[in-house]
Amino acid sequence: MADMIGKLKDIYARYEELSEKMSDPAIISDTAEWTKIAKAQAEISETAQKYAEYAEVEKQKQQAEDAVKTEADPEMRELLYAEVEDCKQKLNALTEELKILLLPKDKNDDRNCIIEIRGGAGGEEAALFAYELYRMYLNYCERHRLKVELVDINETELGGIKEVVFNVTGRDAYKQLKFESGVHRVQRVPETESQGRVHTSTVTVAVLPEAEDVEVEIREEDIRVDVYRSSGAGGQKVNKTETAIRITHFPTGLVVTCQDERSQLKNKDKAFKVLRSRLYDYYSSQNQSAYDEHRKSLVGRGDRSERIRTYNFPQGRVTDHRIGLSVYNLNEFIMGDIGEMIEALAVAEREAQLAGEE
């Protein structure tokens, strides 16, 4: 406890120092420096203010305890004892909040993200479910004021998708969606099933934090950029001009395509954005074997046995196997009402971190 209080005092002192600097006319006139300091202050603001609240309650408790020692009136002593107990309860609650605030934060939480969805085991049924997951995330993002920008999509003739890649921007986009990485398993009777048998199919989802331009260097000699005609399910979706982009990164073997925009330049910009994020993910893992293991942890191989979540349509149930939570609102869930599950996963992560700190 003493270590925690010491750390909190240091954070509060740093917060006060940064606040003072933000009022310095010399810094105010330097927009870049002021923005840097303001960001640093904002990162510790909640913790500093919560500690200030803790310190104030601790002070009230101490004053009440000191008053008890000199108070002769029995009735007043009872009131002071009650105040001490009330302060103790508040301090216990504030301590738990401060423990959570002091947990190491994922450095990527406040980033935008790239989401990749691919059909796994199950053929056309997997492709159809991939489209439903894509729609689920679109609806979730719309509800939470996150902007979605399509990068690439590979559709099937029956309305499914073999693969879709899209960018999500907005406050804490990666933090909100990072737990969706993995194999999603669906159990239901496909529309094409004539005998009413339940089939099991899978879809893989990967959520990558978006990399900044300065974080990843892409050398011209390390890539090849190919231009080709967009393809699609047919009809108006097929572009007659060469606007689609494919970028191959030789050192890693990564390949990124983008054909959503009619502009070759826009497709190229989007493709490079995805490539930077994949390279950021790659180099953050330090080496190829670690990268392969990391990607496997994100999306697995797409096997039916490798699942983070099961969508059971006959029972109207969604189960997340990482935390053992089942909800019975599948129809609403698949339409984007996934906030309860995301919050439960975030709580489980915090509890695991707290257990590790003890």
25-42, pLDDT tens digit by residue?
999 999 999 999 998 999
Residue 183 corresponds to which tokens in the numbers above? Answer: 């194999």
Query: Taking residues 228-252, what's their average pLDDT?
Result: 70
**Residue 293 pLDDT greater than 70, yes or no:** no
Q: Judge whether 220 lies within some domain.
A: yes
pLDDT band at 327 (very low <50, low <70, confident <90, very high): very high
Query: Same domain, yes or no, for 225 and 291?
Result: yes
Instruction: Say if residue 95 is in the same domain as residue 118.
Output: no
Q: Identify which of 219, 217, 204, 228 has the alpha carbon closest to the alpha carbon of residue 304.
A: 204
Spacing of C-alpha 291 from chain mean position: 19
* pLDDT for residue 7 is more than 50: yes
Q: What's the domain range around 92?
A: 2-101
Same domain, 40 and 82: yes
Q: Do the domain assignments include residue 63?
A: yes
Q: Is residue 23 part of a domain?
A: yes
Q: If you ran DSSP here, which 8-state letter would residue 222 be given? A: G
From 101, 129, 164, the end of a domain falls on 101
Of the candidate ranges 52-56, 226-230, 231-235, the one whose mean pLDDT is the lowest: 231-235
> What is the identity of the amino acid at 272?
F
More confidently predicted of 352 and 185: 185
Q: Is 23 helix (H, G, I), strand (E, B) or coil?
A: coil
Residue 358 in domain: no
Read off the tokens for 116: 């990749």
Q: Tell whether 75 and 156 lie within a shared domain.
A: no
- Regarding whether 118 and 94 lie in a shared domain, the answer is no
Q: Are residues 147 and 82 in the same domain?
A: no
**Residue 107 belongs to some domain of the structure:** no
Instruction: Evaluate if residue 54 carries a pLDDT over 90.
Output: yes
Q: Output the domain CATH number for residue 230.
A: 3.30.70.1660
| Secondary structure of 109-174 in HEC code, one letter for each residue | CCCCEEEEEEECCCHHHHHHHHHHHHHHHHHHHHHCCCEEEEEEEEECCCCCEEEEEEEEECCCHH
Number of structural domains (the chain) is 2
Lowest mean pLDDT among 152-166, 171-185, 224-238: 224-238
Q: What is the pTM of this model?
A: 0.74
Is residue 108 in some structural domain? Answer: no
Q: Give residue 288's pLDDT.
A: 47
Check residue 277 and give its pLDDT: 92
Rounded Cα gap, residues 40 and 35, in angstroms: 9
Single residue among 101, 125, 143 that ends a domain in this structure: 101
Under the banding of pLDDT at 50, 70 and 90, the label for residue 194 is: low
Which residue type is seen at 16? Answer: E
Band of residue 358 on the pLDDT scale cut at 50, 70, 90: low
Per-residue confidence band for 241, with pLDDT thresholds at 50, 70 and 90 = low
Phi then psi for residue 27, to 5 deg, are: -80, -35
Q: Do residue 229 and residue 152 come from a single domain?
A: yes
Cα separation of 87 and 81, whole Å? Answer: 10
Residue 43: pLDDT band (50, 70, 90) is confident
Q: How confident is the model at residue 238 (pLDDT cuts 50, 70, 90)?
A: very low
Does one domain contain both 278 and 336? yes
Domain limit, last residue, from 49, 66, 101: 101
Residues 134 and 10 in one domain: no
| 96 lies in the same domain as 194 | no
**Within-domain flag for 357:** no
Q: Are residues 292 and 321 in the same domain?
A: yes
Give the count of beta carbons closer than 10 Å to the beta carbon of residue 219: 9
- Residue 298, pLDDT above cutoff 50: no
Average pLDDT over residues 234-246: 61
Nearest to 44 by CA among 71, 18, 24: 18
Residue 67 and residue 117 in one domain: no
Residue 183 three-state SS: strand
pLDDT cut 70: percent of the chain above it: 89
